[in-house]
Structures are given as C-alpha cells and as structure tokens.
Structure 1
Amino acid sequence: MNIQSKPFLYLQIADRLEKQIIDEVLKAGDKLPSVRMLCREHGLSMSTVTQAYYELESRSLIETRPRSGYYVCIPPVKRLAIPETSSPSAINGLLTPDDLVSQVYMDREDPKNTLFSLGMPHDDFLPIAKLNKGLIQAMRGLPASGTSYEPTQGNEDLRREIAKWSFGWGADFSEKDLITTAGCINAISYALMAVSNPGDTIAIESPAYFGILQLAKSLGLNVLELPTNAITGIEIEALKKALASNKIKVCLFVSNFNNPCGSSMPDEHKKEAVRLLEHYHVPLIEDDIHGDLYFSNNRPTTCKTYDESGLVLYCNSISKTLAPGYRVGWIAPGKFKDQVLKLKRYHALSSAPLTSEVVSIFLKNGRYENHLRKLRQSLYHNSRKYIGAIADYFPEGTRVSQPQGGYFLWVELDKAVNTVDLYQQAMKQHISIAPGRMFTLQAQFDHCMRLSFGLPWTSSLEKKLQQLGKLATNIQGASSSSL
C-alpha cells in the first residue's frame, strides 16, 4: 500500500498549473492570472498564491515581467524528443568498457573538473552537520563506543527502521527479513553470488549501470542486454521471449529511475515481470537505490511489492540519498536469505556499527524524511534547468530523457557525434561526462551520454553545459562538412 501525505496547498496549486503548462492548456507566452485574481476566485491567501508562483518560477516554467505579471516560459520537456528504445543484439556482449570507466572515475581527483559524469549528491545537498551530531550520539549509545563487531545480519535497530520505512511502498518486511551490507553494489554482489554460477546468463536493461556490467563479468556471468524504453524501462515482450528461451538464470533490473536513462517501470509492468519470473522460477535482483528520489507526490512501488514467492532479492542503500561514504546498504533476499547471510559471513563478517547506528537514528527521529524532501526538490529543479540548457545549447535533433526521479539524463546526439571523442575534448575544458559506451558490452550508444544533475545549479555550471553543447555542435558540423 502507499502511504500518501498531502502536499502543502501552494504545492497543489503549483502542480495543477504545471500540468496545464505541460499539457499546453497554458502555452508559452500566456499570461497567468494575477495573484489578486486567484485569491479572489479561489478563496486563497496572498502568501499561498505567491508561494505557488515562486515554486513555478523555480521550476523554470514561468517568469516575471516587471509591471506586467507572470508569463509561461517554453516548457523544456516539450522541446526535445525522448531517446529511442534501445535495440541491443540478442547475443551476449563481449566488449568491456573498463578502461573508459577507470578514466572517468579518475576525473574526481582534479577539483577543477565539473563532474557531470558521476551520480552522487553534492556535499551542499547533504546534512553533514547533523550527521556529525549523529556520530557523537552513536558513539555514546553503542557498546564500546561502536568498536565491537555487530551481528552478521546487521544492526537490529537499523533493520527495524528500514522495515518501517519500506511500509510506504508496500513491503511487509520485519527486521528478520533484512541483512545490512556495505552499500547497494555490495548487496547486489551477494545476491548474484547467491543465485548464479560462472557461465550462467543474467538479463539486464540496456543501457545498464556500468558497475553492474563490471560486477557480472567479474563473476564470470554472460550478460544479455534487453531492449529498454527511456520512459517505461524494460520491454516486457522482450523479457517474455528471453525467459521462454530457458537460458536466463537470473534478471537484474533497476525498476525506479534507472541508471543511466532514468526510466521507471509502471506498476503493471512490475506486476507482469514478477508474474513471468515466478512462472519460470527465475530470481530477480532489484536495485532500488534511487527509489526515494521521486519527483511526484508519492513514492513508487517496487517489484518486491508484488513478490509472493520470495524470488525477488531487493537491494538498496543510502549512498545516493544521505551519505555515500558511510557505505550503509541492505538486502531483503527473500527465500535466499540463508545463502546471502553465509556469503556475508565469508566476505565481511559484519557491517560497520557506527555508520549503521547513525542511519538508524536519522530514520527513527524523522531527519531522513525531512532531508529527502529538500533533496528531491533540489534535484527536480536541477533536472528542469539542465533540460532547458540542453534545449538551448545542444545541436538540433538532440534527444533527452525525462526522468521523474533520480540523478540522470540520458542524452542522445546525432550519430555523427562520438561521445568518447566529445569526452576527450570536453576534458580539455575540465568538463567530465559519461560516454554511452560505458553502459553496454555491445557496439552501441556511441552517440549517447549520461549527464548527472546532482551538482548545484549556478551560472558557471550553465556555462559548462553551454561549452559542452558547443563542442557537440562543432563535432556534428565537422562530420557533416566532410561528407
């Protein structure tokens, strides 16, 4: 079930006006009703209407004209087409982007670089002072100030708070169902080792997070990339055909705000995917690391929401929401709990008590939800501004995804633009991007890239996007003139 909290009245008004702008009931250049008129006609206070208009301004949907009023801007999501549904080969991919991934990761070492390439919250978006207070509280409350080993399954208070938190999207967890891990990728690693063996085939989205590709190859797995829609995620018909071949041992999906293209599976697709996997007795590892970063009023469900057989191994962490360096994650492994617990005992023995306790405290006292509200709002506003900048500065024909949460935009350029070349040219100006080649084991996505909107919006950041767009335009133009 979904626990829904009604937004503030000014947000309700802003959302309704935004829908009219997106649906083009209110068109670019239209004048909005005056603040006084809305107050009079709808019985609202001046402060409520003014706040609603300020909110729409921050979303780059309306603008103020001196002595004239509020007017609708051109909605950027209407100006750019969505990237095409991917069409990977039905054979296992063999190309590995390891060198490129390593190169992009090294960009972090130079503080001069603008990191559009890496998806994580900027320090400005994190409650660092409150986290530090939480550490002091944790040291005072834990036995031996947190220097002792904790049980292999993990901090019981943290597991209980996670179970309470997950009730909002329909999970019926108890603390006994969860095992803590060192982040989400560690949870996925345990899950893969628990349900597969070297030589098995894993089915994933395409494009896919490069960390999952590298992990799968390191475990000796064959990777089958499935067609994926930039809005609705994995193509269900393609999944049906793949499962019918009886070659798939396990599936791994990012069901909400996929990395890199930002897609989200609708509820009916999640239900259908779980039903299909139960029919074929194929486990599903679900990476829901971005699920709490939704831009709508309600947290989306997960595939785990509809799991009745225990075949879904649900993985998550606070690495994208609260504290990447804390390395606090968890897995709800369903019927594979004993195998995962054994693997954790072999590979880690226990999790870090101090950071686990801090996250437990944040969940328990409501600080996590308060922080998330601010983070979600910042990321939403960023996504609008980034899309607007891409529409303004990138070459004609550019396509961009329209994520409803998370950190990422998937940008599809003209096929004449090789984004590895673009990356190399951009780095000369200290601009780091993630070329599309990083997100596949096949010969595809050479003209695509992933951009993170996890950096605070500033005028200098906008100039970097303008520079990036100019470079892409120049590459496209040079290619056209050589034909």
Structure 2
Amino acid sequence: MTAMKAAVPLYQDLASRLAGLIRAGTFSAGDRLPSVRQASREHQVSITTVMEAYRSLEDQGIIEARPRSGYYIPPPVLDLSKLPTAAKHSTKPLVIAQTSIFQSVMDLAENRKVVPFAAAAPDESIIPSAKLASITNAVMRKFKSDALRYTPPMGRRELRIALSRRLLVAGIKAGPDELITTHGATEALLLALRATTKRGDLVAVETPTYFGILHLIRDLGLRAIEVPVCARDGMVVDALEAALKKHRIAACVVQPNFQNPIGSVMSPESKKRLAKLSESHGFAIIEDDVYGELSHDGGRPSSIALYGGNVIHCGSISKTIAPGFRVGWILPGIYQQEVKRLKTIQCPWNATLSELVVAEFLDAGGYDRHLRRIRQLYALQCARTRQAVIQHFPVSCRVNQPAGGFVLWIEMPAEFDSETFTVDAVAKGISLVPGTLFSPSGGLKNCFRLSCGFAFGPRTLDAIATLGRLAGKF
C-alpha cells in the first residue's frame, strides 16, 4: 500500500497559485498586490494564511514589501547586457551648436493630440489638483491682497523655511536665509552658471544630459567638455579627473540623483570624490536635483553638498507637485552674494501666490503621502513601458532600468538615425526626443528618450508597438 501524500499547507498552496498568476502576467512588474484583507476575502482564507503566503513569496524574491504601502511585484533582475553603454565622448572642449530639430520637438512636447513621449512632465492624474485648489483658496483667505503683491528676489520667507526643513532629507542643512527661490530649476541653473563662469570658460557636463542645460551653456558663450554617464552609477568621475589634468574647468553641471535621461544615481563614494575634486581644482559643482525626491524604492539619495565641495544646489517642484507653478530654488553656498545680485537684475520679483501655496503644501498639505503615491505610479509606468519596449523593439535595443524619475533612454545599433526616427514617429502621432539633443557634440544619434510621466494604458502600448515596427526598418 502506497503512503498517503502529505497535505500541502494552505499558505503554500496560496503562494503557489499567486506565483502562477504572476508568471502568467496577471500581475506585472511594479503592480501592487491586493491588500492582506482583500486577498483574504478573494481567496476565502484567513488573514494569517495570506500573510504567510506573502512572506513565502517575499523570501523567494517573487514579491517585495514596501513600508506602509503593501506588497509589489519587483522590477526584473537587472540584465547588464540590456543596459545602454556609456556614451563615446570627446575629450576636447566643444562649442555647442544649435540643433535644427529642437524647436519642432519642443512644439510637440505638450501637444496631447500626439502620444507625448517627448514631455518629461507629470500627467494631470499625478498633479494633486484638488488639494492645491483647496490650499490656494485658504492662502487667499489668509493673505488676501498680499498674496498678489510682488515678492522680493530672495522669495517668500514661508517657502524658504519650508524648503529648509525639506532639504534635511537630502542631507542639506541650510537656513532659510541661505536659500533663494527661482522661476523653476532653469532659472536656478542659469543663475548658477552666470555666478561661476565668464564667456569662453569651460564647463564639464554629462553626456547624455538634459538638453536645457546645453542650451544655457551655449547661450552664455561657454564651452563644454563631455563626461560620460554610466547607466547604473551616473557620472564617470574617472573621466572628469582625466579632463581636469588637461583643462581648467570653471564649473561642472551634474544630475547625481535619477539623472535625465539615464535614470542613474551616483554612489556616495562617487559624490565624495566629486566634492573633493571641486575643492582641489577650484571649480563649482552645479547640482541639478529636480528628480531627487522620485526614488522608486522610496529612499531619498543625498545631495553632493553633504560631502563638502563648492556645491550650488538647484531644485524645483515641477516634477513632484506641479510644473505650472514655476517654483524652484537655489542654494548658492559661497556664491550667495553674487547669485542674489544677479537675481535682482535678472528677475527681481517672484511668483508670490505659487510660493505661498507650495509652502503650505510642503508644511501641512500631505506632501510625503503625495510622494509615496507618485513614486509608486512612476515606478509602475517605467516598468510597464520598459517591458513593452523590450517586447516590441528589435532585440538589439538597450534600455535603461531607472532607479527613480520617469524617463527611459533607448540605445539602438550604431547605424540607427534617431532624428529621422523622430520625424517618422511624429507622422504616426507620437512624439519623442532624439539623442542628438542630449549631446554637447551632437552625437548619440542612435539613441532617444521616452517619458513615462503620463498614464500608461492601451494608447501607450499601441504607440510603443508602432515605434517598435518603425525601429525595425532601420
């Protein structure tokens, strides 16, 4: 007589069924699993059984727990062979040229008649419109006509106090009188470059980097030296150090946290090395940290300022709260007086109502709760978009796996022409940004950027499938 087969514990049976659903695609990378109570009702088992099943799946690495948030399907294991390679870069100073396709891309960036892969901006579903409207009404009742008056160059003290508290999470200890508010991060970067350079100076800049930085450098009559970016670890500090042995660099513009367009994060060791280089070689670090709050795992990376150096920290709420408020800031450090002088000349009056609303939202409007929600959304949208790109594009494509933010960088074979690809995509009702706009030397022609800031859905999937077919023709 054969021995009776031992009964499988109920929690193991549930874990096995859930794992099967995950493998079948019912739940995808970035998806949140049903809450313990909901799963208990759906599967008609006890809460204890669900918790044990979830713990079993977590132990196997199939799901992950996020504090105060629930259980999620983690992103796929990082496949280094699918990540974009570090860009080939020029080791000589460059004069940045005007790119003819730039204006066409910008004209389409916020055009919702096309699928807006070009716009690195939050979707309207991400902007907390109702909360902001409520705060705006409360601010008008409290401040009355004072909310509509000019605000001096330093900005509203209420906002500078709120920012001073908020920046502590990045390791920045600065009083409100050390901060100056700006019209978004672009004005902050412009002030930082004007305060630290003069026409003809050399500025170290990442490649690829946000094209707005390149335009500021060009329009100020500055030259650029390229420093490549690693898809995992950010700016390659070894390359910067090599450049410093040959050239006198006045400033280095860097996005250390969730770099646009690569999505990388510099390690604490790399940040410390960069800070020490700025001290020993006498250049300013201009830190563009607009994506710093948008970690996909909830951890806020530190500012380079934590490690010393001549750091000018720049930020804004455009990616986290609402781009239309045009609220940013600059922490000039040793350049405080010069930045204040330039701000007084360049744009002396700030957006008073916007600053008061943002100050209230940061202090008492549930900003941390809002961040938890949008971090999850961005992580999910990036994971789904990346998965669709891998599924529909030629196998030769490489795509980053960002640790935060909401942009994807796709690298195609060397013969690929991203500018022609962009024109073809627009003809199909899809906008994107060719890699040439992110390169000081006009390289990266075989790369392009897709934004995942807008809601993922059937329209997104159809657009990616279309792009994949177009890419296959090159």
The TM-score normalised by the length of structure 2 is: 0.84
C-alpha distance in 2 between matches for 1:53 and 1:389: 29
Aligned to 1:350: 349
C-alpha distance in 1 between matches for 2:170 and 2:443: 35
Q: 1:141 to 1:265 in 2, by over 3 A?
A: same
Aligned to 2:276: 275
CA contact (8 A) 2:304 2:311 kept: yes
SS in 2 for 1:338: helix
C-alpha distance in 2 between matches for 1:298 and 1:90: 35
| Offset at residue 53 of structure 1 (A) | 10
| Offset at residue 186 of structure 1 (A) | 0.4
1:86 aligns with 2:87: yes
C-alpha distance in 2 between matches for 1:129 and 1:325: 15
C-alpha distance in 2 between matches for 1:462 and 1:54: 29
CA contact (8 A) 2:392 2:464 kept: yes
SS in 2 for 1:194: helix
Aligned to 1:409: 408
Return the match for 1:45 from 43, 48, 57: 48
Q: Please tell me the residue identity of whatever aligns with 2:377.
A: S
Aligned to 1:66: none
| Offset at residue 367 of structure 1 (A) | 1.7
- The 5-angstrom pairing of residues 236-275 of structure 1 reads 236-275=237-276
Aligned to 1:302: 303
Aligned to 1:425: 424
Map Cα deviations across residues 44-91 of structure 1 (whole Å, 9 max, x no partner). 735656888999xxx9x78xxxxxxxxx99937549611111121112
Q: 1:322 to 1:297 in 2, by over 3 A?
A: closer
Aligned to 1:67: none
1:381 aligns with 2:384: no
Map Cα deviations across residues 367-406 of structure 1 (whole Å, 9 max, x no partner). 2111111110000011111111011000011101111001
Q: Please tell me the residue identity of whatever aligns with 1:287.
A: D
Query: In the comparison of the two structures, how many residue pairs are matched?
Result: 428
- The 5-angstrom pairing of residues 152-191 of structure 1 reads 152-191=153-192
Q: 1:74 to 1:135 in 2, by over 3 A?
A: closer
CA contact (8 A) 1:79 1:391 kept: no
Aligned to 1:228: 229
- The 5-angstrom pairing of residues 437-456 of structure 1 reads 437-456=436-455
Aligned to 1:115: 116
C-alpha distance in 2 between matches for 1:457 and 1:79: 25
Aligned to 1:360: 359
Q: Please tell me the residue identity of whatever aligns with 2:445.
A: D
Aligned to 1:151: 152
CA contact (8 A) 2:110 2:116 kept: no
C-alpha distance in 2 between matches for 1:49 and 1:297: 24
Q: Please tell me the residue identity of whatever aligns with 1:193.
A: R
C-alpha distance in 2 between matches for 1:50 and 1:141: 52
1:330 aligns with 2:341: no
CA contact (8 A) 2:285 2:311 kept: yes
Aligned to 1:319: 318
C-alpha distance in 1 between matches for 2:332 and 2:356: 22
Aligned to 1:206: 207
| Offset at residue 142 of structure 1 (A) | 2.2
Q: 1:461 to 1:202 in 2, by over 3 A?
A: same
1:140 aligns with 2:120: no
SS in 1 for 2:250: strand
Q: 1:49 to 1:368 in 2, by over 3 A?
A: farther
C-alpha distance in 2 between matches for 1:369 and 1:444: 39
1:392 aligns with 2:391: yes
CA contact (8 A) 1:412 1:449 kept: yes
- The 5-angstrom pairing of residues 284-299 of structure 1 reads 284-299=285-300
CA contact (8 A) 2:320 2:371 kept: yes
Aligned to 2:6: none
| Structure 1, unaligned runs of 5 or more | 1-13, 22-27, 29-34, 63-71, 476-483
C-alpha distance in 2 between matches for 1:348 and 1:74: 44
Q: 1:97 to 1:262 in 2, by over 3 A?
A: farther
| Offset at residue 108 of structure 1 (A) | 3.8
Q: Please tell me the residue identity of whatever aligns with 1:360.
A: A
SS in 2 for 1:228: strand
Q: 1:201 to 1:53 in 2, by over 3 A?
A: farther
CA contact (8 A) 1:399 1:413 kept: yes
Map Cα deviations across residues 409-442 of structure 1 (whole Å, 9 max, x no partner). 1100122321111111111110111100111131
SS in 2 for 1:202: strand
Higher deviation after alignment, 95-104 or 125-134:
95-104
| Offset at residue 245 of structure 1 (A) | 2.5
Aligned to 1:24: none
| Structure 2, unaligned runs of 5 or more | 1-14, 23-28, 30-35, 41-45, 64-72
| Offset at residue 287 of structure 1 (A) | 0.3
CA contact (8 A) 2:170 2:300 kept: yes
C-alpha distance in 2 between matches for 1:169 and 1:197: 30
SS in 1 for 2:286: strand
Q: 1:381 to 1:50 in 2, by over 3 A?
A: farther
C-alpha distance in 1 between matches for 2:56 and 2:350: 47
| Offset at residue 246 of structure 1 (A) | 4.2
The TM-score normalised by the length of structure 1 is: 0.83
C-alpha distance in 2 between matches for 1:331 and 1:54: 45
Map Cα deviations across residues 6-54 of structure 1 (whole Å, 9 max, x no partner). xxxxxxxx9xx99xx9xxxxxx9xxxxxx99x99xxx973565688899
Q: Please tell me the residue identity of whatever aligns with 1:175.
A: P
Q: Please tell me the residue identity of whatever aligns with 1:212.
A: I
Aligned to 1:478: none
Map Cα deviations across residues 330-360 of structure 1 (whole Å, 9 max, x no partner). 0000010000111111111121110000000
Q: Please tell me the residue identity of whatever aligns with 1:105.
A: M
C-alpha distance in 2 between matches for 1:74 and 1:340: 42
